[in-house]
Amino acid sequence: ERTSLHAPYGFRIGTDGKTLLPDADEQAMITSIREARTRGLSQRAILAELDAQGYTTRKKTAFSLQQLQRVMSQAHIA
């Protein structure tokens, strides 16, 4: 259930304004990050991979290192 103004990456807020629903595109991006980390890539290398795969932020800009770290923290990716 929603606890803040914005939904965490990987989810969107449902029409009732409370329920969190999975966002398929963002879930795919998180899976890509998790797989890249499993392969031993650094965070900067993951940023390059996300850019090459065409992933962008919700505002359609490239991810910064800080944004990637926030997404990784929310998704519990070490």
Cβ-count burial 18-28 (b if 16+ within 10 Å, e if not)? eeeeebeebee
How many whole angstroms separate alpha carbon 40 and alpha carbon 16?
Answer: 40
Residue with tokens 């992933």: 55
pTM, two decimal places: 0.85
Pair 30, 18: CB distance under 8 Å: no
Tell me the per-residue pLDDT of 10-68, one tens digit each, with 9 for 90 and over: 999 999 888 899 999 999 999 999 999 999 999 999 999 999 999 999 999 999 999 99
How many whole angstroms separate alpha carbon 43 and alpha carbon 50?
Answer: 10
3-class DSSP state of 25: helix
